[in-house]
Structure 1
Amino acid sequence: MTEIAMLSHTGSVEALTVGQVAQTFGVTVRTLHHYDAVGLLRPTERTRAGYRLYTSEDLQRLSSIVIYRRLGFALEEIGELLEADGAEVVDHLRRQRDLVRDRLAQMTELVDAIEHALEAEMTDQPATTEDLKALFGDGYNEEYQAEAQQRWGDTDKWEQSRQRQATMTKEDWARIKAETEAFEADLAAAVRDGVPTEGDVAATLAERHRASIERHYDCDHAFQVCLAQMYLADPRFTAHYEDIEPGTAQWLHDAIVANAARHTG
């Protein structure tokens, strides 16, 4: 039974002392003394030693006081309500109901604002390993990550990559994934259409490839050529590009080399 329900079902009980009332109904002795002092709740009986005793009627009055206080009424208003007739009580309660509804609406708006702020704060958090697994699926390989760190962990580019990726959010990675998929679709189309690797279309694709690398670490044209060579030398990279479109690994390599020659003279 809730506290208010308990207060509403006091029934006929023996008179209780201040301490017993405080313990039973969850109010402080000081509060009961204050209610007595202001005339809001004066215990009906006293012991021979002069201690206050609360009768069943007193406890029923206390239950009303507690409920009204929960509704936000001031003690003066509660005193008026306790002395009012039925029509006045209904009028007071209707006004208070409207006030409570207004507060609920304000609190709902506040909760929504907090939710939005929390969502924005969580959005700004760096992506976790679990986020990346959910986003990339089989494309995220922890073993490859460990191998890459072992091979290049002592290089400046690895440190650059670590620092930049440490601040990337799940939304950042989702955008990178979408851009990568768009790049690979355009790359496959160029290979299928037999676009020459020395032309402007190939140069544009090579620059898009280099820009995607530079999200993680600085990549000049010479270093990009080194990556292109790895795409042919490492079977895993070759297989990735060949799955996009047969001949893509060699085409991308040649396009990167030709574009680098353009920029280095």
Structure 2
Amino acid sequence: MHDARDTEGLTVGQAGARVGVTVRALHHWDEIGLARPSLRTTAGYRLYTAADLERLHRIVVHRELGLGLDRIRAVLDDPATDVPGALRAQRTQVAERIERLQRLGAGLDRMIDAHERGVLLTVEEQATVFGPGWDPEGPVKARLLYGDTPQWQQFAERSAARGPEDWQAVTDAMTDLERALAEAMDAGVAPGSSAANALVERHRHVFAAYFPLTRQMQVCLGRTYETDPGFAAHYDGIRTGLAAWFRRIVDASARAHGIDPDTATWE
């Protein structure tokens, strides 16, 4: 319903405010002949009548449904246009768009959960994938410590896209690497050798399943593996002395790339 002022004409600004579009859009529609104001003031300003506003409202409705301006013109002005057919086609496109948005919404929900929980597996799934010694609260604790870091964000992005099979592949790759590290240590592979350096590179590649690991970050991680009681227990549980040996091969590789392990920082 339009009040009596509509019959006297509205300026472009008033018309735009009434139908919820910008003045620039109204000027464009005027220029292309899609919706031209019918009146002019004595000063030459164009005014929109009630009929003009009704056409603007119809244009806005069709535009919100996704029709292009040329198609809107045909629907409004071409008597040969199959309006129901055009609207049905647009309805199909809207349904497809809704489906895409629903998938996007589900993906965003998983991303939010991944940022908050770290690993999107049930407790039972985590025990199956990571082993009975796995602490399901570990990722939550890690978020409290590292949730504001770029690495946690990268980890969450990867986690959001992973199910049990994906995590199993990550776990298997890390288990294979740890076995190879233990075998190399048993075989007497020397830090700085080509075989040791290859294992260091393999560690960076496998670890990238969590987040990208620079050489300096790898030095810091090797230091943590040796000094942190939890990590040290894990690696020394595979082979006694493995945590210290791993740190030595990482440090030797870092030196070969111009990095001083004693001053390396997490960057």
TM-score (norm 1): 0.50
Q: Which has the larger radius of gyration?
A: 1
Higher fraction of helix: 1
TM-score (norm 2): 0.50
